[in-house]
């Protein structure tokens, strides 16, 4: 059988995928630095990271902290783990190390999709050619990326599984978006959205929802075209909500807003881990994984960003709809055996507690309402959640 031509640029976009023999787990958590007195963002990541670099490296050799686009952010990174529990223990250890530096500096830490009242025009960029080029190209929209998120990596054993699982994960992206939504405020204003971050971030030219490709070679052809036309310098510049990470053999889920506490992060990480492993297993068993057409995926993203846990999402290609929390209940029940196998039953069960007590966007609005609209009180509540749980 003759393989159809993929076009003149296919060779230039070669993306060798290094398989991961087990569904290992890694988490990247963007944390903001705020002034302990004013609650405003503090552009002092360089000072914090310089002190961290003087400490002994982690025994496994993996970097645990990093710069991000803005100088008010420290990214906390786990190593490679088999379970959610061990990944969270790793992140807690690093968070404590960061706090050991920031507390004496008069800095607090928080994590949410946006800061309630900080102004994007007052922020400083992290120095470096990659970030400078991004801002030079994106200008006004790039400078407004005053947002924080969470990235969860799950190991994939074969390149042939990556795209089918990615497409099937898009069915569940609104669930993750609604549960993690933590960015109702922007520049001191209630936007009316549960996740303003979701819609802000997709303004970047290579961010937002991924294209849906049938074969890995089609993705390579796409990357070849992007490289050839100068849209990207490397695949790392493709900032999709869900994307492959070929060099480390993972599927990277980047849907979630910044998550305010380790406990909530554990729950959402467990949900991602179970979803990916469940879909991988079903694919191996010969099942045709459920997918949605791109127009339904796009509509679901908007609905989850706008309405959060009150979103009615599209659940099938036929256009069936359901309240996201009702669909989530059935999903958690179906994933219970997977969670037992992965050793994260308690963490997955904790997902149901998020709608019960209110997602972060709801909790932030409750604090604002109770304090006459005082957004410094909202910041204080986010700082407390990260410190106390």
CATH number of domain containing 165: 3.30.590.20
Least confident of 137-141, 147-151, 375-379: 137-141
* Total count of domains within the chain: 1
Q: Domain range for residue 248?
A: 10-388
Token pair, residue 388, equals 């106390």
Write down the pTM of the prediction. 0.94
Residue 58 binned pLDDT confidence (cut-offs 50, 70, 90): confident
| pLDDT of the residue at 13 | 64
C-alpha 389/C-alpha 382 separation (Å) is: 10
How far are the Cα atoms of 79, 259, 274, 307 from residue 341, in angstroms, in the given order? Answer: 21, 25, 9, 33
The answer to whether 33 and 73 have CB atoms below 8 angstroms apart is: yes
pLDDT digits (tens, 9 = 90+) for 94-108: 999 999 999 999 999
| pLDDT of the residue at 56 | 84
Contacts of 252 (CB under 8 A, 6+ apart): 151, 152, 153, 242, 243, 244, 245
Residue 379 binned pLDDT confidence (cut-offs 50, 70, 90): very high
Token pair, residue 322, equals 């359901």
Q: What share of the chain has pLDDT > 70, as a percent?
A: 97
* DSSP structural state of residue 195: B
The answer to whether 252 and 242 have CB atoms below 8 angstroms apart is: yes
DSSP notation for 146-193: ---BEEEEEE-S-HHHHHHHHHHHHHHHHHHHHHH--B-EETTEE-S-
Per-residue pLDDT for 289 more than 50?
yes
Is residue 139 domain-resident? Answer: yes
C-alpha 92/C-alpha 81 separation (Å) is: 14
HSE toward the beta carbon, residue 296, CA cutoff 13 A: 19
The answer to whether 43 and 71 have CB atoms below 8 angstroms apart is: yes
Is residue 1 domain-resident? Answer: no
| pLDDT of the residue at 308 | 98
pLDDT digits (tens, 9 = 90+) for 307-322: 999 999 999 999 999 9
C-alpha 115/C-alpha 123 separation (Å) is: 12
User: What is the Cα 98 distance to its own chain's centre?
Assistant: 21
The answer to whether 68 and 75 have CB atoms below 8 angstroms apart is: yes
Is residue 5 domain-resident? Answer: no
Per-residue pLDDT for 357 more than 60?
yes
The answer to whether 178 and 304 have CB atoms below 8 angstroms apart is: yes
Report the number of secondary-structure helices (H) and strands (E) in the chain. 13, 13
C-alpha 72/C-alpha 67 separation (Å) is: 9
Token pair, residue 148, equals 């924080």
Per-residue pLDDT for 10 more than 80?
no
Contacts of 49 (CB under 8 A, 6+ apart): 65, 66, 67, 74
Is residue 126 domain-resident? Answer: yes
Contacts of 130 (CB under 8 A, 6+ apart): none
Burial of 374 (0-12, 13-18, 19+ CB in 10 A): middle
| pLDDT of the residue at 12 | 56
C-alpha 132/C-alpha 388 separation (Å) is: 36
Burial 329-367 (b: 16+ CB within 10 A, else e): eebbeebeebbeebebbebbebbeebbeeebbbbbbbeb
Is residue 194 domain-resident? Answer: yes
Residue 369 binned pLDDT confidence (cut-offs 50, 70, 90): very high
C-alpha 74/C-alpha 87 separation (Å) is: 18
**Mean pLDDT, residues 358-378:** 98
In 3D space, the residue among 384, 388, 389 whose CA is nearest the CA of residue 108 turns out to be 384
How far are the Cα atoms of 106, 205, 281 from residue 49, in angstroms, in the given order? Answer: 15, 29, 40
First vs last C-alpha separation in the chain:
58
In 3D space, the residue among 18, 83, 24, 282 whose CA is nearest the CA of residue 171 turns out to be 282
C-alpha 154/C-alpha 176 separation (Å) is: 15
Is residue 368 domain-resident? Answer: yes
Is residue 269 domain-resident? Answer: yes
pLDDT digits (tens, 9 = 90+) for 297-309: 999 999 999 999 9
Is residue 4 domain-resident? Answer: no
């Amino acid at each position: 059988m003759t393989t159809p031509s993929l076009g003149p640029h296919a060779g230039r976009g070669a993306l060798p995928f290094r398989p991961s023999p087990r569904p290992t787990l890694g988490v990247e958590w963007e944390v903001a630095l705020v002034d302990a007195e004013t609650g405003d963002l503090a552009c002092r990541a360089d000072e914090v990271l310089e002190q961290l670099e003087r400490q002994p490296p982690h025994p496994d050799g993996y970097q645990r902290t990093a710069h991000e686009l803005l100088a008010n952010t420290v990214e906390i990174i786990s190593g490679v783990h088999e379970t959610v529990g061990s990944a969270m223990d790793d992140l807690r250890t690093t968070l404590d190390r960061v706090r050991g530096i920031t507390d004496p500096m008069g800095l607090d830490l928080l994590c949410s999709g946006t800061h309630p009242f900080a102004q994007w025009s007052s922020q400083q960029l992290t120095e470096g050619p990659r970030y400078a080029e991004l801002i030079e190209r994106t200008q006004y929209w790039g400078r407004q990326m005053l947002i924080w998120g969470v990235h969860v990596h799950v190991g994939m054993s074969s390149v042939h599984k990556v795209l089918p699982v990615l497409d099937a994960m898009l069915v569940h992206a609104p669930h993750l978006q609604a549960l993690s939504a933590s960015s109702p405020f922007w520049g001191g204003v209630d936007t009316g959205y549960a996740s303003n971050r979701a819609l802000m971030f997709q303004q970047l030219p290579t961010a937002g929802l991924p294209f849906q490709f049938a074969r890995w070679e089609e993705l390579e052809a796409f990357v070849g075209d992007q490289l050839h036309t100068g849209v990207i310098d490397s695949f790392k510049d493709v900032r999709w909500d869900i994307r492959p990470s070929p060099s480390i053999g993972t599927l990277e889920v980047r849907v979630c807003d910044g998550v305010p506490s380790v406990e909530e992060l554990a729950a959402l990480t467990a949900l991602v881990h179970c979803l990916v492993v469940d879909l991988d297993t079903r694919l191996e068993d010969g099942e045709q994984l459920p997918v949605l057409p791109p127009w339904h995926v796009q509509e679901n993203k908007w609905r989850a960003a706008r309405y959060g846990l009150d979103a009615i999402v599209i659940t099938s290609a036929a256009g069936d709809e359901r309240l996201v929390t009702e669909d989530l209940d059935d999903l958690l029940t179906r994933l219970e055996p997977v969670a037992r196998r992965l050793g994260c039953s308690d963490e997955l069960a904790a997902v149901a507690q998020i709608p019960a007590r209110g997602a972060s966007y709801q909790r932030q609005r409750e604090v604002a309402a109770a304090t006459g609209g005082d957004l410094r009180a909202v910041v204080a509540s986010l700082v407390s959640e990260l410190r106390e749980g």
